[in-house]
Amino acid sequence: MAKYPPRPSFLPVMRRLLPILSFVPSVALALTLSAGSSLADITTKKTSKSSSSSSSKKPAAPQKPATKPAAKPAPKPAASSTPEKPATTSSGARGAIGAMAPMPRVYAPTRARDAAPKYPWRKDIVTTIFWIGEQPSENNPVPNHASSWDRQWQLNFGGYDNPDRDARTWDFCPKGFTPGLNPFYVALPFNDLTNPEVARRIPWFKARKADGSKSVCKDVWLSIRCGNKTCFAQWQDCGPFTTSDHAYVFGGSQPMNKENNGAGLDVSPAVRDFLGISSGARCDWRFCEESEVPDGPWSRYGANNTFLTKDARNNERIRRQYEELVRKREDWLKKQAATRVIK
């Protein structure tokens, strides 16, 4: 019996080829997909080139806008006596172009509002001129070398307050000397020293008495107004013609005086020149606090001027308070000593 050679074994070969054979289909699929995408890109580029060439050759004609027939004007509503208000919605009023946003309730004043003064104005008061050193005359029977509160008024002022405009300086003072008192002064028809019961009803009575003032009216500040000008001056005398008209000075009545057309206020030459008035002019005036008085020519001269005596008055107030504390301490020590003796 013939012997055949042994059959070769393919098992080791197949084992080596299996990984290669399994990798081939995936490679083939990847190559197919990449070829398809590149073909699609080429097709898209060709179509875009053809469309651009066709558009460059023949531009499209512009379309004509469609015309609408003109609308007929709406008939006008019949006129009524009362104008109609625009309709309102929750979002606001309705205007010609539709609903408008609601306006905020904001009140913005066009200018700063003046605060109400503490003391009211006495308006349209006949104002006359008087001066320190004035001699008696028909319209002024009392000489003005002394005031109701100062017997040496002219001496303390420093001289004659010449009313002649040529005899006065640019800052409203008399020429020839520096005034020892404020050249801006006035007179009102009330004297607190001769009317003590009425004086107790003056609003600042307690405050001025606490400061040790003999008169609670002397040197009080006033604001005098004429037209668009306002001047400030200190009360230094009583008049015109009367010294007991508290209803006018503090109550707001008309002046009881009938002389000189019912004059109710005397002002110095400095006040006259600052306001630019003459005797017989009608002015407004009111009392004002020291803190209301601004800096001006009325704040430069005078031993009675509160602008110049503020530090001295503060020191005097502190001195009196210290003396009062010392007195109270001595009284307390005396009481303590007395109680020990009794025990």
- Whether 299 contacts 290, CB under 8 Å: no
Name which of 237, 208, 232, 209 is nearest 222 in CA terms: 232
252: which 2 tokens?
A: 């707001």
| Prediction pTM value | 0.60
104: which 2 tokens?
A: 């905020």
Residues 172-184 have pLDDT tens digits of 999 999 999 999 9
What is the arithmetic mean of pLDDT over 155-183? 96
Name which of 285, 257, 260 is nearest 271 in CA terms: 285
CA angle 204, 210, 211 (to 5 degrees): 95
What is the distance between the alpha carbons of residues 310 and 280, in angstroms, rounded to a whole number?
35
pLDDT value of residue 17: 61
Residues 26-46 have pLDDT tens digits of 655 555 555 555 545 555 555
- Whether 86 contacts 97, CB under 8 Å: no
The label of the residue with tokens 């009367």 reads 242
Residues 254-271 have pLDDT tens digits of 999 998 899 999 999 999
pLDDT value of residue 29: 56
Name which of 327, 288, 313 is nearest 117 in CA terms: 288
pLDDT at 124 over 80: yes
Sequence-ordered list of residues with C-beta below 8 angstroms from that of 162, at least 6 positions apart, any chain: 131, 168, 174, 175, 269
Beta strand 92-95 pairing with 88-89? antiparallel
**How many percent of the chain have pLDDT more than 70?**
65
Under DSSP, is residue 225 helix (H, G, I), strand (E, B) or coil? strand
Contacts 24+ apart (CB under 8 A), 85-94: none
- The residue ranking higher by pLDDT, 2 or 120, is 120
Torsion of CA 272, 276, 281, 282, to 10 degrees: -100
339: which 2 tokens?
A: 């109680």
DSSP per-residue codes, 41-53: HHHHHHHHHHHHH
End-to-end Cα, the chain, rounded Å: 165
DSSP per-residue codes, 155-194: HHHTS-----GGGB-TTS-BTTS--SS-S-EEEESB-TTT
- The residue ranking higher by pLDDT, 159 or 9, is 159
Residues 203-255 have pLDDT tens digits of 999 888 877 788 999 999 999 999 999 999 999 999 999 999 999 999 989 99
> What does pLDDT average to over the chain?
78
Name which of 216, 159, 155, 147 is nearest 185 in CA terms: 147
